[in-house]
Homo-oligomer: A and B are copies of this chain.
Amino acid sequence: MNEQAMLNRVVDEKSYKRLLRELEQYRKQHERLRLLFNVTRNITRELTIDRLLLRTMDEVKNVLNCDRCSVFIMDDENQELWAQVAHGGDAIRFPSHLGIAGYVATTGETLNIPDAYADHRFNPNIDKQTGYHTRNMLTIPMRNKMRNIIGVFQALNKFGGPFTGDDEELLDAIGAIAAGQIENAQLYEEQKKTFDSFIETLATTIDARDPMTAGHSKRIAMYADEIAQVVKLTDVEREVLRTAALLHDYGKIAVREAVLTKKGSLTKEEFEHIQRHPEFTRLILQKINFSGKLKDVPEIAGAHHEKFDGSGYPRGLRGDEIPKLAKILAVCDVFDALTSPRPYRDRMNFAKVLKIINRGASTDFDDFFVAALKKIRLDRLLLILEDEQKDKLRPGDLSFLSSYTLTDLMFAYAEHAPSPEQQKLVSVFTKYYSSGHDQPHSSFAL
C-alpha cells in the first residue's frame, strides 16, 4: 500500500472516540485489579489476627484514598461486633445490631452514604465521643465461603468526595479475600490459645501433686520471662523459654507420689529416684512432636538441674554445654524454691536468699544470668512473688518499688548504715515479702 492510499484509508472520529473511551475503561479496571492484587499479596502474609486486621485497614485506606478504614468482626457467641484499634489498645466492642456497621452486618446490604449527617441510620454520638468528623462512608459486609457474614468493612471520609460505585466493587473484592484470611487467622489463634492454656493447666496440675510446689512452674515461667526481657531475647526464644519453664517439672509425673511428698529425709534410693525427674521430663517431652521453633523445648526443660561447674544432673553438663535457656531456668528454679513458703516455715529471709544466689554465681549458675536476675525491677518481682495475692499490693508501694531493682535491694540489705531511702526500700519490700503466707494448699487446687 502506498503512502497516498494509506492516507485515504481514514476512520471517522466517532469510532476513534469510542475506542478511546473503551481503552480508558480498561486502563482503570486494570489499575484497580493491580491494586487489588497488591493488597491481596500483602494481607495474605499475616496469620495473626491483630496484624492481619491492621495491615488490611492500612491497605484499604491507601487503595480507596480515604482517611480511615475499620474492620468489624462478628462475635457470634456474644452477638457483638468488635474492631481492632490501630497501634494497640483494647478492641472496641458493641452489640452486633447497632449503628451502620450493625445494620450492614444484619441485613447484608452495602451502604454507601455520601453525607453521614443527612442519614438517619448514622449515630453522631460516636463522632462526639471521638472528636472525629465523619463526612462520607462506605460500609460493606464480609462473607466467608459459606456466604455467612463474618464481619463488616467500613471506609470513612474519601478524599475529594463520596465513594463511587468502583470503590464499592473494589472493597467488595478485598472483602472476599480478607474474609478467608480472617477465618484462617481465627482458626490459628484459637488453636494456639487452646494449646497455651493446655500447657498452663498441665503445669498447674503437675505442681499440685506436691503441695510444696503449688504455682511453682507458673512463677518460674514469669521470672524467666523477666530475665528474657533484661537480656533482650527474641520473641521466639521467649516462647521457647516460657514453654520449657511451664513443663520443666513434667517428669515428676513419673516420680512416685510417696517419694515426692515424703516428709522428712529421703533414703539414698529415694533421692536418686527423685533426681531422675529432669530426665523423665526430657524423655516424655521428646515424645511430643515439638516441631519448628519449639523443637528444643525437651532438651532445655530436661537440663534445668544442670550446674555451671558440671556438678548438676542428670548429665553433668558444664558451662556452655548447658543450653542458654536452661541456664535461665536453673537460676529461676532455685530462686523460686528459696522464696517459697514451706509447710513448716514462712519464706526464707530475703537477705539470705540473695546470699545463696550470689554464692551460686559461677558455680551453680552462669553469672551472666544471675546479674540479669538482679536487674529485674522490684515491682515486677513482687508481682510474681505475690502472684496468689496480687490484689493485696498497694499501687503506691508498687510505684515506689518500680524505681529499684533487686541489686538496689541487695545493697540496702548489705549496708551497715543504710540511708533513709534504703531503709524505706527494705521496709516496703519486706512488708509484703515476710507477711504471713498461707500454707501452700495441700489439697488439689481446683
The interface of chain A, by Cβ under 8 A from chain B, is: 6-7, 9-16, 19-20, 22-23, 26-27, 29-30, 33-34, 36-37, 40-41, 44-45, 47, 145, 173, 176-177, 180-181, 183-184, 187-188, 190-199, 201-202, 204-206, 208-209, 250, 253-254, 256-258, 280, 283-285, 287-292, 294, 444, 446
Verify A446–B254 contact, CB threshold 8 A. Answer: yes
A-B contact sample (13 more), CB < 8 A, given A44-B181, A205-B250, A254-B446: A6-B12, A10-B12, A19-B19, A19-B20, A26-B30, A184-B188, A187-B188, A193-B289, A198-B289, A201-B284, A202-B202, A205-B253, A283-B446
CB distance from A30 to the nearest CB of B (A): 5
Verify B26–A16 contact, CB threshold 8 A. Answer: no
A194-B195 contact, Cβ under 8 Å, with A180-B45, A256-B257:
yes
A288-B198 contact, Cβ under 8 Å, with A205-B253, A257-B258:
yes
Could you say which residues of chain B place their CB within 8 Å of the CB of A280?
Answer: 444, 446
CB distance from A173 to the nearest CB of B (A): 7
**Can you list 28 contacts pairing A with B, beta carbon distance less than 8 Å?**
A6-B12, A7-B12, A9-B13, A10-B13, A11-B12, A19-B19, A23-B23, A26-B26, A33-B37, A37-B40, A45-B145, A47-B188, A187-B292, A188-B191, A190-B292, A194-B195, A196-B289, A197-B288, A202-B202, A205-B253, A205-B254, A205-B284, A208-B254, A256-B257, A257-B257, A257-B258, A258-B258, A280-B446
